[in-house]
Chain A
């Protein structure tokens, strides 16, 4: 019979437990490290990966100043620069105003990461007030620091009874993550 060397059952059990503790410590560290690596990779992807598009969170018709006010949120971790804006007006049945388009009105607003700004789009001077049924398509072009392309964001604003009175038209709720309080609340 081959000679097996060991102490006793008790010592084998105790040494197994000691080694198991060390092994568990090593495995736990490895697991934690792999999780930390995954978290860092996810944060990096969020910070540098996909250019997050600005989002229009709410829109409002400012009757007194005759302008459309958009709340634009930048949900990403890099600043986004708004270059210019365009507006297309399509009259409803109740409106006396003819259809018109305003293009390439310079804007030059930078939205800091994870923040929102208010952008005013002036309607055509001396145009009639908005009536129920009118439709405005507001386009904002913007650039991203990691790209030389020009992106366009289009928001369609349909005038209903509340919107005609100047009430805030909220977009469907965004996921709450990364959503800060707007810098200026709508008046």
Chain B
């Protein structure tokens, strides 16, 4: 199973590299803007992606009955006496500690959304704007950013749900 997954993953990587190479050769400026928007927002949300990924992996390991290293969770939770906290509380604090980054990310994304929307709704005096947007390059950036935002949102939702299920399970065990 793992070998199969590894092979599938390798095929995906090769396809992605091939597609990127061909795409870069044939891309329109708008598509390049999309790629840049995706890369930029992945960079902006890298802390969230790694953080939610680590929380998800940690919660999954706990759910499987393993005993993962608590050090990254204690560092991530940013609490004074983190070593005394239970696993679920620790994960909860860790999740909440990522919220400022999530708000910053989503604020920039919503700002971008509003800008691209406003440029679509602007009166026919677009000639001045189109000097800067060059037939809606900003829209390309927006669509690229949307992919990154979807990834961040889905990872965050999955991590939060895993933590919630862990907490429910331990509540049921205690009760």
Contacts and interface: CB of A to CB of B under 8 A. Distances in A.
B114 to A, nearest CB: 17
B92 A1 contact: yes
A93 B152 CA distance: 83
Contact of A23 (B88, B93, B150, B164): B150
Given A30-B30, A38-B28, A6 B95 contact: no
A76 B139 CA distance: 34
Contact of A9 (B34, B88, B161): B161
Interface stretch (A11-19, A49-57, A133-141, A148-156): A11-19
Given A16-B150, A23-B150, A2 B96 contact: yes
Nearest to A16: B154
A13 B155 CA distance: 9
Contacts of A2: 92, 95-96, 99
Contacts of A26: 143, 146
A19 B150 contact: yes
Chain A residues touching B, range: 20 to 34
A125 interface: no
A13 B150 CA distance: 11
Contacts of A12: 154, 157-158, 161
Interface in A1-58: 1-2, 4, 6-9, 12-13, 16, 19-20, 23, 26-27, 30-31, 34-35, 37-38
24 contacts: A1-B88, A1-B93, A1-B167, A2-B95, A2-B96, A4-B157, A8-B165, A9-B158, A9-B165, A12-B154, A12-B157, A12-B161, A16-B157, A19-B150, A23-B143, A27-B143, A30-B34, A30-B139, A30-B140, A30-B143, A31-B31, A34-B31, A35-B28, A37-B135
Interface of A: 1-2, 4, 6-9, 12-13, 16, 19-20, 23, 26-27, 30-31, 34-35, 37-38
Interface of B: 28-31, 34, 88-89, 92-93, 95-96, 99, 135-136, 139-140, 143, 146-147, 150, 153-154, 157-158, 160-165, 167
